Amino acid sequence: MSVLSDLPAAVPERDGPRIVGIGASAGGLSALEAFFAQLPLDTDCAYVVVQHMAPDHPSLLGTLLQRVTALPVSDAQDGVVLAPNTVHVMPCDGALTVERGCLHFRATHKVPGVRGPHLPIDGLLTSLAQDQGPRAVGVILSGMGQDGMLGLQAIHKGGGLTLAQQPDTAAFASMPQSAIDAQCVNVVAPPQDMPAHIVQCLQAPTSKAVSTPLPSDAPPADALQAIVRLLHQQHKHDLSLYKPSTLRRRIERRMHVHQLPTMAAYWQHLQTHPQELALLFAEMLIGVTAFFRDPQVWLDLSQEVLPGLLQQPRTGPVRAWVLGCSTGEEAYSLAMALQEVQDDLALASPARAPSSVQIFATDLNAAAIAVARKGWYSAQALADMDPVRRERFFVPHDGGHLIRPEIRSMVLFAQHDVVQDPPFTQLDLLSCRNVLIYFNATLQRRLMPLFHFSLRPAGVLVLGSAETVGRSQSLFAALHPKSRIYRRNEQTLLPGSVDFPIHRALKARAAVQELSVPMSVSNSSSNLQALADQVLLQAFSPAAVLVNAEGDILYISGRTGRYLEPAAGKANWNVHVMLRPALRAQVAMALRQALQERQPVALHGLPLEGDGHRQLQVTVQPLQEPQALAGMAMLVFKEVVAAGAAGPQSAQPNAALVAELQSAREEIQALRHEMHTSKEELQALNESMQTANEELQSSNEELTTSKEEAQSMNEELQTINGELQTRLDDLALAQSDMQNLLNSTDIATLFLDNDLNVRRYTEQAVGIFHLREADVGRPLSDLASTLDYPQLQTDVKETLRTLAPCAKSVLASDGRWFSVRIMPYRTLANMIQGAVLTFVDISVAKALEFRLREAQVGAPSSGVAP
């Protein structure tokens, strides 16, 4: 049901931290880093992160996020109790949920090569909404597809806080945009700004009285009604008859998001931020629904109400109206219940023909209607349904469940505002559960006679557990008072007691009202004349209707009940539908001719139902002036005495009339033949179109499946690519560190592979081997060296064979001495992949060594005897 939903006066106190569920997919790594880089360390919240990833690819997300935040980041473990100021990341592909403040993780085991849609973000956020209620916080960041939308809707319905990344800041905007389009997002912001919004909203109370005096620049009336008028101007839905307390709570929720102290300040915010009006209207339309909600009500309906409706003799279908259907759960519940009862009746009486069923399901929320039309529901939405019923009426699809075609075909969904749109009529059952509680007493009293008008005799009305028929007890009798099931009484409604809504923004009606005579009496004689003219028009003018080019009735004058009659079903104020059957064809032709030729057309001798002594004359007068009525027509009805009742002379046949009648009959016959031919052609075309539609539908399903598989693979590749790019950056940094380290040691170093080819060298090695960049990959034997070391290549091979280091002192051609050390090159896996040669300049040490030797040799010869 999508109506204004009450919030608790305050978020209920519970043990444990507030839990923030965060979902991301392709392009989400940078958004997550921006989010956690700005996250304070003392929010007292636990953060659970789910990102799409390949089933066979371990996640490095925890390591990457730990680099940007001081909060402890860990892989989610099954059964872990969530603690404040911690971050938990889904370690690999699977299902991560929250129950009683604990994490539950189940890895997904997929068959290799088989891929399908997987919605882990929806699973986390939906479980969070069920476990935490209004304490839940949901965040959707960059990603492709619609994963997370249903989860945010669940949190939003439960009164929690929902945030989505601003689409123009996301690498892939599909996921946040889907949530925004579903009208279930409280805050739209870049990821780096989201932590501040979360802290502000969590610190603000959920509800408080707005008693601050209005500033001098406040709206002319009170701020609440001014805001309601803004919503009406923007969205064309009148919320003024909803309970003020309900309106105030929903508005205060948006006030707290923007940290505005008064309702007047929020009104001023709406003036400068038109997009906030859409978010406020979405806040008003919160659907609270479930399959077979209140099981006792459905048990009473199935056992004592629905069998009687299906067994009644009838020529048409069983007609029902589910008002405030939200995302369709209640409408489909009614369809399933009717089908179950129908099957039971078929078992009891096999010869009985099944009754057709037509259910009208309406709601004010267009986004909810779109979800209902799809008929797809997540596993969490059907978790409480009986498994037998679930298997009978649903088929697995896209990681959830799709309603079966035989149930889907029973229900017609439409956007509808019960306050101002015409109702459905000739109904056997009307379900208006948990809708009236959000309306004030005036609107409730207005709707009860309307419901009585919509129902057939002995029709059934079903209300919510907290709703009653109020003062309209004469209109309805209680069948099951506890379940709030009522039967329509045969009570005659007084004229004018049904306030019939007609929601038509017709300029012509406004023009007619402007041209009408004012009813207020004043001292001027012109008003007295106007009153007299009004009396003469009402008493003596013929019946007439003003219609537009399509035949919609814009204005009615006089008594037209003998010529016009409302049709069964949804109210339709079109003259072609409301005319008596005997008049429709000829009046339609006359209206078309008059509008095309812009000349009056008169019809004579039309029959009147139930009156053989009088006939009807209809004049169709096209209008060109005044300008407001241009293109419209006035239909004037006048009754005359039938030709057969005028006297003997009038009974004589008129040859001209006989010829005209014969011509008309031939023309009608030709038109009938043409219509029959056209009907057959249209039937054949319709069958061809249905066949083509089925083929296109099948192709579309295949394309949709292929698209979703490709999208899933692309998201996984995007995630892997982001992690690999980060790893490459780390490797590049490590390589730079190593290169700088080698250069800072001032040691000539040469790296060889197993074939003694040059792999890498330092700058100091250039002076020894005359190396260039092109020498990488050349054999050691091709390099010219300044060292007097002919056995260098032999020593390298011996080191690779024995894995024992080799060290020697070698003289260079320029007189320098080098300490040469040869060692095997070992990888991290302890594999030998070449050799490392280091050349340390020891010329100074050698010079000192030679001097020392010379001193030691010359010391005895210089001695003197005592």
Q: What is the CATH number of the domain that holds 29?
A: 3.40.50.180
Domains contained in the chain, number: 5
Are 185 and 215 found together in one domain?
no
Residue 259 CA to residue 196 CA, distance in Å, equals 11
Q: Other CB atoms closer than 10 Å to residue 178's CB: what's the count?
A: 22
Assess if residue 661 is contained within a domain.
no
Query: Per the structure block, which two tokens stand in for 68?
Result: 């940007």
Residue 320 CA to residue 311 CA, distance in Å, equals 15
What is the reported pTM?
A: 0.48
Assess if residue 72 is contained within a domain.
yes
Assess if residue 515 is contained within a domain.
no
Are 465 and 599 found together in one domain?
no
- Domain ranges, residue 543: 536-647
3-class DSSP state of 360: strand
Q: Alpha-carbon torsion 641, 644, 646, 652, what sign? A: positive
DSSP string, 475-518: TEEEEETTTTEEEE--PPPPTT-S--------HHHHHHHHHSPP
Are 828 and 749 found together in one domain?
yes
Cα distance between the two ends of the chain: 124
161-170 pLDDT tens trace = 999 999 999 9
Are 417 and 560 found together in one domain?
no
Are 218 and 194 found together in one domain?
no
> Of the candidates 488, 510, 545, which is a domain's last residue?
488
Q: How far is CA 630 from CA 325, 598, 624, 703, in A?
A: 41, 11, 4, 50
Catalytic residues: 25, 52, 147
Assess if residue 151 is contained within a domain.
yes
β-sheet with 357-363: strand ranges across: 411-415, 357-363, 318-323, 427-432, 455-463, 485-488, 476-480
371-430 pLDDT tens trace = 889 898 888 788 889 999 999 999 998 778 999 999 998 998 988 888 888 888 889 999
**C-alpha closest to that of 332 among 310, 359, 309, 306:** 359
Give the chain's length.
866
Are 442 and 383 found together in one domain?
yes
pLDDT for the residue 692? 66
Are 352 and 480 found together in one domain?
yes
Question: CA 508, 514, 517, 518: dihedral to nearest 10 degrees?
Answer: 140
Residue 143 CA to residue 177 CA, distance in Å, equals 10
Are 195 and 273 found together in one domain?
no
Assess if residue 493 is contained within a domain.
no
What residue ranges of the chain have pLDDT lower than 50?
1-12, 110-116, 206-221, 502-526, 645-653, 862-866
pLDDT for the residue 722? 82
pLDDT for the residue 235? 75
Are 797 and 812 found together in one domain?
yes
Burial class for 736, CB neighbours closer than 10 Å (0-12, 13-18, 19+)? exposed
pLDDT for the residue 518? 38
> Of the candidates 191, 207, 223, which is a domain's last residue?
207
pLDDT for the residue 744? 76
**Tokens 């003024």, residue?**
240
Burial class for 535, CB neighbours closer than 10 Å (0-12, 13-18, 19+)? exposed
Are 470 and 548 found together in one domain?
no
Assess if residue 510 is contained within a domain.
no
Residue 65 CA to residue 75 CA, distance in Å, equals 11
pLDDT for the residue 687? 61
How many helices (H) and strands (E) in the chain? 25, 31
Are 189 and 255 found together in one domain?
no
> Of the candidates 177, 207, 237, which is a domain's last residue?
207
Assess if residue 558 is contained within a domain.
yes
Are 276 and 311 found together in one domain?
no
Could you tell me the CATH number of the domain that includes residue 821? 3.30.450.20
CA atoms within 13 A on the CB side of 406: 11
Assess if residue 757 is contained within a domain.
yes
pLDDT for the residue 487? 93
